Structure 1
Amino acid sequence: MISFLGTPRIETGRLILEKFTLHDAQNAFDRWLSDERVSDNRVSAAHRILSQTEERVNGIVSQYANENFCYWAIKLKHSGELIGEIDLYDFDESTGNCEVSYSLGFQWWNHGYGTEALKEVLAFAFRKMNVHKVAAAHNTDNPASGRVMSKAGMVREGVIRHMIRNAKNQYKDCAVYGILQEEYVYKGERLKDEFQRGYMADSCL
């Protein structure tokens, strides 16, 4: 059974994941929601005017009262700068499964921030919420997102043809990834064992 805990503040080495506020709308608009380089990998079109983003952020903020709403703003720890978003959604209480999605502003691509945020959200889902499986998908013409999923421990399960149609009326094939709670636990223990073996070997030098 899933234990819903809402959207708590999460810290990583370089990031803070926390709730959006109404004051975040301008930065979200400027940094990714109005950028077609980002929206080309999303179902929804790039925002043309700030009021679109304000309406979207208002909708997010209004749902934080619900314990089953898990939606984080991604911010740099050293500056507090808003750089993206990540959320858990589509919870199925009959299976314990859900999905995850994320977006980062173009300026912060290829710096490992997506992987860092995704790893912590997966940890939260499995350790705190008792989720059974987390799934995700990306357009096959956006392999960088697949690398983020792989680095976070997710496994590619296949490709669904014409899974989505974007705002430009283009059908997109999507690669589907997933990770089970038992896989997450196993991989975590394996990495811990490898670290301990490496530490012991180094201490003997």
Structure 2
Amino acid sequence: MITYFGTPRIETDRLILEKFKLTDAQAAFDHWLSDERVSDNRVSAAHQSISQTEERLFNIVSDYESKEFCYWAIKLKESGELIGEIDLYDIEKATGNCEVSYSLGCNWWNKGYGTEALRAVVEFGFTQMSLHKISAAHNTDNPASGRIMSKAGMLQEGIIRDMIRNSKNQYKDCAVYGILQGDYCKKI
């Protein structure tokens, strides 16, 4: 049985995961949502205006009223700087399975922040929410995301051809990863 907590604050060694605020719009726009390098690895196109980001954050902040909504801003603990986002979504009550996605601004790539955030959310999902399985996928032309998933204990389960179509109307193959609560508990 899943226990819902909404989006509680989570601290790691270097990060704070917390709810977005409407005042985060400019930083989210500047740091990753307007960046083509980041959006190339996402389904949604890069934002062309701050108003797109403001609307997106308004919708996220509005959804915090639901205890079933898990969507974190990723901030550096030392400076409070917003560097990305991570969420649990498509939580299936019948199976206890869900998916996780994340994005980081490219100024913070290859520094271990993605792994640190994903590990924290996986731990929260299994130890607090009692989820059964957490899955994720990445474009096969973005192997760095697969390394993040592997370092967080996820195993590659396969590749799905033409799984997504990006904002440039290109189909992309995706590698699918997953971790089971039982496997997670054996490692801790």
Shorter-chain TM-score bucket reads over 0.9
Q: What CA deviation, in whole Å up to 9, does each residue of 1:107-135 have, x standing for no partner?
A: 00000000000000000000000000000
Other structure's SS at 1:186 match:
helix
Q: What CA deviation, in whole Å up to 9, does each residue of 1:70-109 have, x standing for no partner?
A: 0000000000000000000001111000000000000000
Name the counterpart of 1:21. 21
- Map 1:3-14 to 2 at 5 A: 3-14=3-14
Structure with the bigger percentage of helix? 1
Q: Please tell me the residue identity of whatever aligns with 1:117.
A: A
Name the counterpart of 1:115. 115
Name the counterpart of 2:157. 157
- Map 1:102-181 to 2 at 5 A: 102-181=102-181
Aligned residues with identical type, % of pairs: 74
How far is 1:187 from its partner? 1.2
Paired positions, count? 188
Structure 1: where are the runs of 5+ without partners? 189-205
Other structure's SS at 1:117 match:
helix
Q: Please tell me the residue identity of whatever aligns with 1:8.
A: P
Q: Distance in 2 between matches of 1:147 and 1:187?
A: 18
Name the counterpart of 1:49. 49
Q: Distance in 2 between matches of 1:65 and 1:184?
A: 29
Q: Please tell me the residue identity of whatever aligns with 1:91.
A: I
Q: Distance in 2 between matches of 1:101 and 1:158?
A: 17
How far is 1:66 from its partner? 0.1
Q: Distance in 1 between matches of 2:93 and 2:132?
A: 10
Q: Distance in 1 between matches of 2:167 and 2:74?
A: 25
Q: Distance in 2 between matches of 1:54 and 1:155?
A: 35
Structure 2: where are the runs of 5+ without partners? none
TM-score, normalised to structure 2, is 1.00
Q: What CA deviation, in whole Å up to 9, does each residue of 1:141-162 have, x standing for no partner?
A: 0000000000000000000000
Name the counterpart of 1:183. 183
Name the counterpart of 1:71. 71
Other structure's SS at 1:178 match:
strand
Q: Please tell me the residue identity of whatever aligns with 1:58.
A: F
Q: Distance in 1 between matches of 2:20 and 2:13?
A: 20
Q: Distance in 1 between matches of 2:50 and 2:76?
A: 23
Over aligned residues, Cα RMSD in angstroms? Answer: 0.3
Q: Please tell me the residue identity of whatever aligns with 2:124.
A: F
* Larger Rg over CA atoms: 1
Q: Distance in 2 between matches of 1:166 and 1:120?
A: 28
Name the counterpart of 1:81. 81
Q: Distance in 2 between matches of 1:75 and 1:95?
A: 31
Q: Distance in 1 between matches of 2:91 and 2:113?
A: 25
Poorly superposed stretches of 4+, deviation over 3 Å: none
